[in-house]
């Protein structure tokens, strides 16, 4: 009995994990945002009146499956707004962990409940994206920033 359990732990369980990760990877790769980051010329624009810097994180198109009978395609653009002193730290952290941040944003949108996507101000979604970005770039106590969603569209899938 022990040898059977050892065999299963040693061979079957890792194989099952590899298969599940491969399936999830295929689904994840299919639903990933464009791998092309914003052009350098578009990387950051400064609002000279307030001293805030806008840092674009790109365009996203994510299928939301929270309600299988009524799935949606969510298209949106994400920008971060930070003050001048915090913006350089934030840009460096984003540059270092850009793919991780993009994946975190996609995951938040994919898992959002329909009522969150239907909020007029999208406050809950913005807050969740902000937390996901801070986690992804390892900056839980890092620079403060606001999440902007200038273009946001939910379509029936």
Q: Distance (Å, rounded) from C-alpha 41 to C-alpha 43?
A: 6
> How many other C-beta atoms can be found within 10 angstroms of the C-beta atom of residue 51?
12
| Helix axes of 123-136 and 98-111: crossing angle, nearest 10 degrees | 150
Residue 25 has pLDDT above 70, yes or no: no
Token readout for 155 is: 């379509």
- Grade residue 28 by pLDDT with cuts at 50, 70 and 90: very low
Residue 3 has pLDDT above 50, yes or no: yes
Q: What angle do CA 51, 53, 54 make, to 5 degrees?
A: 145
pLDDT of residue 139: 74
Q: What angle do CA 86, 90, 145 make, to 5 degrees?
A: 65
Would you give the distance in Å from CA 3 to the centre of its chain?
44
Token readout for 121 is: 């101000």
Residue 121 has pLDDT above 50, yes or no: yes
CA torsion through residues 26, 149, 97, 135, sign: negative
pLDDT of residue 156: 80
Residue 81 has pLDDT above 80, yes or no: yes
Higher pLDDT, 107 or 67: 107
- Grade residue 44 by pLDDT with cuts at 50, 70 and 90: very low
Task: Give the residue among 152, 81, 77 at the shortest CA–CA distance from 117.
Answer: 152
Task: Give the residue among 121, 111, 123 at the shortest CA–CA distance from 72.
Answer: 111
Residue 102 has pLDDT above 90, yes or no: yes
Q: What angle do CA 71, 123, 49 make, to 5 degrees?
A: 130
For the chain, give the number of residues. 157
> Mean pLDDT, to the nearest integer, of 31-36?
48
């Amino acid at each position: 009995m022990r040898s059977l359990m050892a065999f299963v732990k040693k061979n079957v369980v890792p194989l099952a994990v590899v298969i599940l990760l491969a399936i999830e990877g295929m689904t994840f790769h299919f639903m990933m945002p464009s791998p092309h980051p914003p052009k350098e010329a578009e990387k950051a624009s400064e609002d000279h009146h307030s001293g805030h810097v806008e840092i674009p994180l790109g365009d996203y198109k994510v299928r939301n499956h929270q309600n299988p009978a009524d799935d949606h395609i969510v298209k949106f653009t994400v920008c971060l707004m930070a003050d001048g002193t915090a913006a350089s730290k934030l840009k460096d952290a984003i540059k270092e962990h850009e793919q991780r941040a993009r994946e975190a944003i996609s995951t938040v949108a994919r898992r959002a409940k329909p009522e969150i996507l239907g909020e007029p101000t999208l406050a809950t979604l913005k807050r969740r994206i902000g937390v996901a970005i801070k986690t992804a770039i390892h900056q839980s106590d890092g620079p403060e920033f606001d999440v902007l969603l200038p273009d946001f569209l939910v379509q029936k899938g």
